[in-house]
Chains A and B, each alone.
Chain A
Amino acid sequence: MTALDRIPRGARGVAILGIVVGLVGLELALPPLQVQAAAVPVVLGLGAAACAIWALTRDERKLGLWTLFVAIVATAFAIWVQGKSDTSTSLVVNSGLFAATLVYATPLAYAALGGIFCERSGVVNIGLEGMMLTGAFFGIWGTVWGGSWVIGVAVAMVAGAVVALVHAVFAIHLRADQIVTGTAINFLAVGVTGYAFIDIYGSNGTPASIDSVPNVHLPAVESIPGIGGVFGSLNLMIWIVFGLLILTQVILFRTPIGLRIRSVGEHPRAADTVGIPVYRIRYICVILSGVLAALGGAYLSVGFVGSFGQNMTAGRGFIALAAVIFGKWRPYGAFGACLLFGFASGLADRLQSVAGVSPNLLNTLPYVLTLIALVGLVGRSRPPAADGQPYVKG
């Protein structure tokens, strides 16, 4: 298969073209270009809408609806931005916003990748939040104890694995209800990290200066206008999550191991019949989900904030869960959802500091979108067939 063959053709290609055209219309209205003629986004938006209708009438219903959505939202947003003064727009929309998007998306993406492994193998994991929180605390604790962020991240991974092992033993071997166990994990993580935090650090909090995960400076990239501001000096753990994303996609969909994981999640009986060790694969996937979620938490504490506070993940594990569902249990899809949710957080931050707009309303976005995805207005989300079902060996 050559690269050329993989370019989508027909109605699908037209729909994607429409999305690109709609986004170009928006890009032109934003800094640094800031084209002020309303005709530009309108014309491009109409073009995008035409592509959407073309796709919709040729049986590309799902993608076509998305194109229509992008055409309307992008055009409306572009026209709204044109009405604003140059300076206030460029304060909100600049390369810093996209860098912030990545910063907010990264902890979500780690946990979401973990959630995908876990649920693809047929174990529901609503304990992602607790596993993240565990990683956040032990990341800091390990960094203080070992004097290096490398040790901190390693300790976080081990702690996440231990918490996930509890979930695995109860969910797989004891066949406890996975949702109850996940809820218990969330409670335990809050209690254990909170108790240890107070007991070890008292009311002073974690030490002020700790060794944190370094940023990767790319002088060659930094000098490129626009892109340089986003990718020139990203945290190392952001680059790692890009790698893990591709790795997850390849493992799940291009390797025999991935096929086994998916078969265990779709039809464990059939997998067992052909000799796939259902329990072992589920154990590995659940523990992997704990390690990945803990990495997300460690990024938050050791990579980004530099300290730990009680219950500091504040629901990010649930946003990651939402991203898994919104992305239809696929790595790229879930990552796209994380970027979208991260963008919403970054935008909320900026709108608050520049325009005094409250972030609370924008913070509901991930959850509202996921509800819409669940109902199936823009392509119904369907979990793996055996997700949440304990397996009894025959």
Chain B
Amino acid sequence: MSERVTAWLRAKAPAVLLPVGTTVLAFAIGGLVVAATGHNPIDAYKAIFNGTGLNYLLPWTSSEDKDFAALNLQQTLILTAPLMLTALAVALPFKCGMFNIGGQGQYVVGIVAAIVVGSHGASLSTPVHLTLSVTAAALAGAVWGGIAGAMKAAVGAHEVISTIMLNWIAIYGAQYLFELNGPLQGPLPDVPQSAEVTDSSKLPAVWGVLQPLHAGIFLALAALVVYAILINRTVFGYEVRAVGHSADAARYGGIPVARSYMATLAIGGAFAGLAGACDVLGWEFHIVTNDIAVSQVGFIGIAVALLGRNSAIGIAFAALLFGGLQVGTSSRALDPSVFPPQLAGNLAVIIQGLIILFIGAQLLLVYAWRARRRGEAEPPPTTLVEPISA
């Protein structure tokens, strides 16, 4: 029994230890930055942690503090849901050997579709209207991802480049739609923003009053379950993983490689589109033109997927970490007398960048760890996706 436990631990250790170790290292370097600029890193991190609202879960938090912590935790969970979904938009194509950088664009077209459908049809009943709005967002994301997939399947255009281009087309396109005199500008004549979605298409609140946690978190958790089943328990998932390991071998084995490319990017895009639906139907209810280019949800999803090692459970925890980091460093939650929120927001971006950087070379660490035991030398290249030119 104990032998089996040790064997299990040894097999699973890299999957848990490396992300945790990477995160600790990134926070440590971030702490050095904080210390170098004349602030106390321990106080700063403590204030950021309290800002996330996660102290709500600690037994020794007093009941007065808990009220405030609950507000922050609701916001953290509100931001965690779309991050889980945009991470899935990266993770699924990853399993197929592709890097979808287009989560941001797919998220934006999801927002546009959710607003278009959600702001019309107020006479519909809530279940119907909500379902239609959410479906429209997922479909729009699927189309946006599917374009990159189709280009890859048809002429081999590399998805990294096409999805970067599609991101900016979506961002500028959405700005065009909702700007002053734009075709989809809302009813306020001098305000460059979209119309409000109607009450019948809003996701129901589940916890809190001021800005309550909405049901989008369950949508995201359901998507994680769907993803896990799709990848691990279906023929489609098997084919996707086979293509991810070696497209040539999969093709030789009779797996429709082109279809796998298109389907994974389309489904990934649908996840990102759902993230857009979460935000716009859950708590924002409209979009301001200037906020479109500022949003980073899709890009942070890349960091979440990398840190979560593309597993459903890993993504859930990584999304909570980054969602919390965003709320904890925001001006509404962080005590400015301890650490200025403007600095903290940038610190969060530094930590995200460091985590991505270290994860990029992470397989190397695994190898070094094993090689030390076996006495091997040269680590293999850690290319996660096929090279641009292939």
State the A residues within 8 Å of B (CB).
Answer: 124, 126, 166, 170, 174-181, 183-192, 194-195, 198-199, 203, 310, 314-315, 318, 321-322, 325, 356, 358, 360-361, 363-364, 366-368, 370-371, 374-376, 380, 382-390, 392
Contacts and interface: CB of A to CB of B under 8 A. Distances in A.
18 contacts: A124-B387, A126-B160, A177-B382, A177-B385, A178-B383, A188-B349, A194-B346, A198-B343, A198-B346, A325-B161, A356-B181, A364-B168, A367-B166, A370-B161, A374-B155, A375-B155, A380-B155, A389-B389
Which of A183, A315, A363 lies at the interface centre, i.e. has the most chain B CB atoms within 10 A of its CB? Answer: A183
B164 A360 contact: no
B343 A199 contact: yes
Interface string B352-375: 111011011100100000000000
A381 to B, nearest CB: 9
B329 to A, nearest CB: 11
A184 B354 contact: yes
B179 A358 contact: yes
Which of B161, B179, B380 lies at the interface centre, i.e. has the most chain A CB atoms within 10 A of its CB? Answer: B161
The 7 tightest CB contacts between A and B, nearest first, are A187-B353, A191-B349, A388-B387, A191-B350, A188-B353, A180-B360, A184-B357
Contact of A176 (B162, B346, B382, B387): B382
A183 B101 contact: yes
Nearest to B160: A179
B223 interface: no
Interface residues of B, number: 61
Contact of A388 (B173, B351, B389): B389
Chain B's interface: helix, strand, loop or mixed, by majority? helix
A318 B168 contact: yes
Given A180-B359, A188-B357, A198-B340, A321 B350 contact: no
A382 B389 CA distance: 8
A361 to B, nearest CB: 5
Interface of B: 33, 37, 99, 101, 151, 154-155, 157-158, 160-162, 164-166, 168-169, 172-173, 175-176, 179-182, 293, 299, 302-303, 306, 340, 342-343, 345-354, 356-357, 359-361, 364, 378-385, 387-390
A358 B173 contact: no
Contacts of B384: 177, 179-180
A175 B367 CA distance: 12
Given A187-B353, A195-B343, A390-B383, A358 B176 contact: yes
Contacts of B382: 174-177, 390
A382 B158 CA distance: 10
B389 A185 contact: no
Nearest to A129: B164
Which of A195, A380, A386 lies at the interface centre, i.e. has the most chain B CB atoms within 10 A of its CB? Answer: A195
Contacts of A385: 389
A184 B389 contact: no
A375 B176 contact: no
B161 A177 contact: no
B358 to A, nearest CB: 8
Which of B99, B155, B165, B387 lies at the interface centre, i.e. has the most chain A CB atoms within 10 A of its CB? Answer: B165
A193 to B, nearest CB: 8
Contacts of A382: 389
Contacts of B361: 170, 174-176, 181
A181 B357 contact: yes
B353 A367 contact: no
A194 B345 contact: yes
Given A177-B385, A389-B389, A368 B379 contact: no
A358 B306 contact: no
Contact of A184 (B173, B346, B353): B353
A275 B270 CA distance: 49
A380 B154 CA distance: 13
Contacts of A363: 168, 172
A195 B385 contact: no
A370 B364 CA distance: 34
Nearest to B362: A176
A181 B176 CA distance: 32
A360 B340 CA distance: 34
B201 to A, nearest CB: 26
A191 B172 contact: no
A193 B382 CA distance: 29
B387 A389 contact: yes
Contacts of A325: 161
B168 A360 contact: no
B343 A185 contact: no
Contacts of B99: 177, 179-180
Contact of B387 (A364, A366, A386): A386
Contacts of B166: 367, 371
A191 B352 contact: yes
Nearest to A311: B294
B39 to A, nearest CB: 9
B206 to A, nearest CB: 32
B306 A194 contact: no
Contacts of B180: 358
Contact of B157 (A183, A191, A374, A387): A374
Contacts of B354: 184, 188
B179 A360 contact: yes
Nearest to A167: B357
Contacts of A184: 353-354, 356-357, 360
Given A190-B349, A368-B169, A195 B33 contact: yes
A195 B350 contact: yes
B378 A170 contact: no
A175 B361 CA distance: 7
A283 B271 CA distance: 38
B155 A376 contact: yes
A386 B101 CA distance: 21
A61 B180 CA distance: 43
Nearest to B181: A358
Contact of B360 (A181, A375, A384): A181
Contacts of B164: 126, 318, 321-322
B74 to A, nearest CB: 26
Given A188-B354, A191-B350, A195-B347, 16 more contacts: A124-B388, A177-B99, A180-B384, A184-B354, A186-B353, A187-B303, A188-B353, A191-B351, A192-B346, A195-B33, A356-B181, A358-B180, A360-B176, A376-B155, A387-B388, A389-B387
Nearest to B355: A184
Nearest to B164: A318
Which of B37, B154, B383 lies at the interface centre, i.e. has the most chain A CB atoms within 10 A of its CB? Answer: B383
Contacts of B33: 195
Nearest to B386: A388
B342 A375 contact: no
B349 A375 contact: no
A20 B86 CA distance: 48
B172 A360 contact: yes
